[in-house]
Amino acid sequence: MNTLGARIKQYRKAKGMSQQALAYACGWESQSRIGNYEKGARQPNLHDLQKIATALGVSFPDLVAGKNRSDVESYSDAIQGRIRSEDRLVRDYGRSKDKDQPVSSLVGWAKDGKVPVLSNAQLGNEGFFDTIEPPPGQGEGYLNIHSDDPDAYGIRVMGDSLMPRIKNGEFVLIEPNKRFSSGDEVIVRTSSGKAMIKEFIYLRDGMYRLDSVNTDHETLHIAEQEVEEIHLVGGILKSSRFLHSAALF
């Protein structure tokens, strides 16, 4: 039977890993967690599914929903959104040579371009951030990446409250004119002055549901009229993609 548990077991054996070895690769002490997932006694959450997929070297959608996506409807909105978002990236850009990530998420595989970096995002509690101008001579520059959104811009993330998805010193590419779907990461600014990077789940009955990219933070529900702007996060980029203005001439 092609269940999630069966797929975990199949990929684990194909990689020559024991349950204990897979548990260690995911950062867990005991193999019982893997055993319970394979038997279907427990259902892993999104964060655990990502750890397992990474450890097994398979794509998140293939592990969770099967290669024919037959299981996709059985999952939560957040997991369904993640699967569809990654499938869309793969459709548009393809996968890496290792086949476990969309090409667009890998430094060095994205098409070259020039997107201005406008500010730093100093992260605080719950993933909220304050926008601060870069120090003179240190922040003016560009992201070496192509975007077909003429208003695209980048910000540098400072702080670790979005770990492990976004690390201190990495950049996010913001594409204001592009549509976003459930499971996409977005930058949100509210009428109360809060700014945050969240995972968009849905807009329903005048309420946004926004999940944290850090599983330690709670889901937010915000009234539509309280949201001043919400823009697509088109990519998360390493510092090697940053070019100082002087380097362009």
The full DSSP string for 164-206 is TTS-TT-EEEEETTS---TT-EEEEEETTS-EEEEEEEEEETT
Residue corresponding to tokens 């913001």? 174
| pLDDT, mean of residues 53-61 | 88
Q: Decide: helix, strand or coil at residue 86.
A: helix
**pLDDT (0 to 100) of residue 120:** 83
Amino acid in the structure at residue 10:
Q
Phi, psi (deg, nearest 5) at residue 187:
-105, 130
**How far is 182 from 186, CA to CA, in rounded Å?**
10
| pLDDT, mean of residues 39-53 | 88
> Would you say residue 16 has pLDDT above 70?
yes
What pLDDT, in 10s, does the model give residues 177-227?
888 888 888 999 899 888 888 889 999 999 999 988 766 677 889 999 999
Q: Helices marked H in the chain — which ranges?
A: 4-14, 19-25, 32-39, 46-56, 60-65, 77-93
The residue that leads in pLDDT, 114 or 247, is 114
Which H or E run contains 160?
none
Hey, what's the torsion of the CAs at 90, 177, 141, 131, to 10 degrees?
-110
**pLDDT (0 to 100) of residue 106:** 42
Domains annotated on the chain, with CATH = 4-102 (1.10.260.40), 115-248 (2.10.109.10)
